[in-house]
Structure 1
Amino acid sequence: MSAKVAHLTTVHHPLDPRIYYKQCQSLNKAGYDVTLIAPEANEHISEDELQTITITKHNNKFKRMIFSSLELYKRAKQLKADYYHFHDPELLPVAWLLKNKHNTVIYDIHEDYETAMLQKEYLPKPLRRVVAKTFKLVEKLFSRKMEKVIAEKYYKEKYQTGQDILNYPIISERILNKEILGNTKTNKLLYTGNVTLERGALHHAELPIIDEQVEMHFVGYCRKPFAEQIKEIAGDHASRIYFKGIDEYVPKDEIEDAYMQDDWLAGVAIFPPTEHYVKKELTKFFEYMAAGLPIICSNFEKWDEFILKHNCGITVDPDHPDEIKQAIETLRNKPEYARQLAENGRKAVLDGLHWGVEENKLIKWYEEIKPHK
């Protein structure tokens, strides 16, 4: 019989790319009996593609941590899975309860949670460091007998035993068939992913002010009040800011539709410096590269090294508008250079920075950690 795998989340959308499209579908394709337990959503998931169990979605964080976790625990325990692979740190107690000598429990570390907590706006600033340190102790206690998988290279600094299964993109045929134009007739800049303060939204809001020809397009979830704040910052230039995803999840296919447009000048990630992001290789970097977009991003040391290594974009000081404007003008006025950056980025992705490589690692690792009956 096929080994039974349960992927568990109370936080992520059931169509989360890392969980659903990458790990669950890859394991399913490899012959594992995979079930996903995730919050209910508007999008329909075909049972022909993957077995799914939906749990009640609670928008209130504390209700979710209690009631969603309890509901998930009951459903997960009924499965009697060989592998329990969970994706949210708040599920550490649930995973600890599910662990026994006959199964393997996997803690999937999507983020550097300790530093992420230092940025949580809903926590009073004096409490953040206390909460982060407390979490670290609780995490260590609950996860002692669990396998760990990390989504980012630098997490190895904190999780030395973690198996890296990096969050590289799935490269679709239509993305690869998209021609790289080095387009000079466009002034459209693209940002994909959740639109938040720490992910540079306010810097991106200023781009139409910095360059009066630029259009700024956000494709990803954004709370309506925050979208209005972004428009206010743009002021008289707000008509050149566009959103797809105000108060709604944007599925992977729709983000890919955005990448398929052939008139982007660049993909942007001009983030403010925070401990959480300065060492992180963003998933959107690899997606921009696969789609044939030059990158304009902040000049953090690790990002500088990445962009220089692959020669796929331009880094800028996020607090220096003149540098940002110069980067935009360089791509606009030097089409061959822009095209070369785009081609370099796509080549780097094809040479190994894609999910196919990580998929093979995942399947091999699952075999190595299989439970002994």
Structure 2
Amino acid sequence: MKNKKVVHMTTVHHPLDPRIFYKECLSLKNAGYNVTLIAPASSNLTGEEEIEIKTIKYRSNRLHRLIGGSIEMYKMAKGIKASVYHFHDPELIPIAWMLKKKGNIVIYDIHEDYQTGIVQRDYLILPIRKVLAKVYKIVEKIFTKKMELCLAEKYYKDMYPRGICILNYPLINKTLLRQERKGENIGKELLYTGNMTTDRGAIIHTELLNVDPEVYVYCYGKCSGSLAAEMNRQAGDNKDRLYINGVNRYLPKKEIDKAYVSKGWLAGLALFPPTEHYMKKELTKFFEYMTAGIPILCSDFPKWKKFVNKYQCGLTVDPNNSKEINEALDYLKAHPEEVIAMGERGRKAVADNLNWEREEEKLVSWYAKLLRGKNEGE
């Protein structure tokens, strides 16, 4: 295989999705690959991005995206004649299967535990969700037999033993790592970053305003208008201490990065309700909070508790126990020096091990190995 053309494909994610664009695509470009990203059109693009981005029509309707988006994606991707097609959404499995030829490589980048995620979707009744999850598992197994599997989470290895873990650790942000935090500057503001949904704790985070009359909750990430309205209703008379940044819009990574240094954050939030989908995941926001020297305040799921205890970088609580949450907040407010110490321990863990630079080496090495294998087989 002589060319080093690589195409990354998504019909679901924003073109500047951190894992797809800033980590994988830019890492491959810097390693000498000719990288093209095909993604839904967005007004956030400037035309000055460091890799070529080709856009397909943005479709908000799930069915239209599944059919029309996939067809448009297939035509555009096929015309590039790449050595590697690397796709990021399960709905693209059929067209990725069609793109697979003897002389190329197709990689399925598994961001989520999709089977569990389907069961948790609340827009269909449970029996239908369970059937769809089983159908998805069968279809996935049949169509991805000749594809390579890229896993964003460690525990996905249990479901995909032949997959390669390229973990979604953060890029080393030297500005954040060097940002000095002082005890006297620690405030009573709590931070949440990432998409906002009820199963990502949006209502629980809002309820903190009613649990503790002193704290402020700042949320940075995409949030539907209906959920934002529900959060404001939940906050009631305390809604003047709730700030939602990203209502009905995608929030660029650079905007979120600025948020990390905008205040003397007391803690970074991840108080999710118990769901099988999230209980095993190491959330990307954990690593981002740690990079910024912000202690984590999260649900006491066994995996999360083990992680936080290992790095001594925060506190875990029962997300449904307001008394326990209140005690944790009181402890943080009364011990600003420990807030700093937790943050610094988190920073050290990210700087030493939990960073994208290590995963980048794995990604580039894996690509090289796959291409060598194809070259030798031709």
1:204 is matched with 205
Cα pair 1:187 1:213 within 8 Å, conserved: yes
Deviation string, structure 1 residues 317-366 (Cα, Å, up to 9, x no partner): 01110111111111110111111111100000011101101001100000
Q: Which amino acid counterpart does residue 297 of structure 2 have in structure 1?
A: I
Q: Structure 2, unaligned stretches of length 5 or more?
A: none
Please give the residue correspondences for 1:234-253 in structure 2 after superposition, counting only pairs within 5 Å.
234-253=235-254
Cα pair 2:205 2:217 within 8 Å, conserved: yes
2:283 is matched with 282
Give the CA RMSD over aligned residues. Answer: 1.1
Deviation string, structure 1 residues 144-166 (Cα, Å, up to 9, x no partner): 00000000000111010110000
Distance 1:48 1:216, change over 3 A: closer
1:131 is matched with 132
Cα pair 1:183 1:263 within 8 Å, conserved: no
Please give the residue correspondences for 1:126-165 in structure 2 after superposition, counting only pairs within 5 Å.
126-165=127-166
Cα pair 1:182 1:342 within 8 Å, conserved: no
Deviation string, structure 1 residues 35-68 (Cα, Å, up to 9, x no partner): 0000000012435610111001111000000001
Equivalent residue of 2:19, what SS?
Answer: helix
Cα pair 1:184 1:333 within 8 Å, conserved: no
Quick one: distance in 2 between partners of 1:295 and 1:48? 32
TM-score, structure 2 as length reference: 0.97
TM-score, structure 1 as length reference: 0.98
Identity level (%): 52
Distance 1:166 1:182, change over 3 A: farther
Q: Which amino acid counterpart does residue 27 of structure 1 have in structure 2?
A: L
1:18 is matched with 19
Quick one: distance in 2 between partners of 1:41 and 1:262? 29
2:117 is matched with 116
Q: Would you say 1:102 and 2:103 are equivalent positions?
A: yes
Q: Which amino acid counterpart does residue 286 of structure 1 have in structure 2?
A: F
Q: Would you say 1:324 and 2:325 are equivalent positions?
A: yes
The total of aligned residue pairs comes to 373
1:31 is matched with 32
Quick one: distance in 1 between partners of 2:71 and 2:48? 24
Quick one: distance in 2 between partners of 1:2 and 1:30? 14
Shift of residue 97, structure 1, vs aligned partner? 0.0
Q: Would you say 1:66 and 2:67 are equivalent positions?
A: yes
Quick one: distance in 1 between partners of 2:285 and 2:184? 20
Quick one: distance in 2 between partners of 1:281 and 1:45? 32
Quick one: distance in 2 between partners of 1:118 and 1:84? 29
Q: Which amino acid counterpart does residue 194 of structure 1 have in structure 2?
A: N
Shift of residue 183, structure 1, vs aligned partner? 4.8
Cα pair 1:331 1:338 within 8 Å, conserved: yes
Shift of residue 71, structure 1, vs aligned partner? 0.4
2:9 is matched with 8
Shift of residue 125, structure 1, vs aligned partner? 2.0
Deviation string, structure 1 residues 177-201 (Cα, Å, up to 9, x no partner): 2112245651100000000011011
- Give structure 1 regions of 4+ aligned residues with deviation exceeding 3 angstroms: 45-48, 182-185
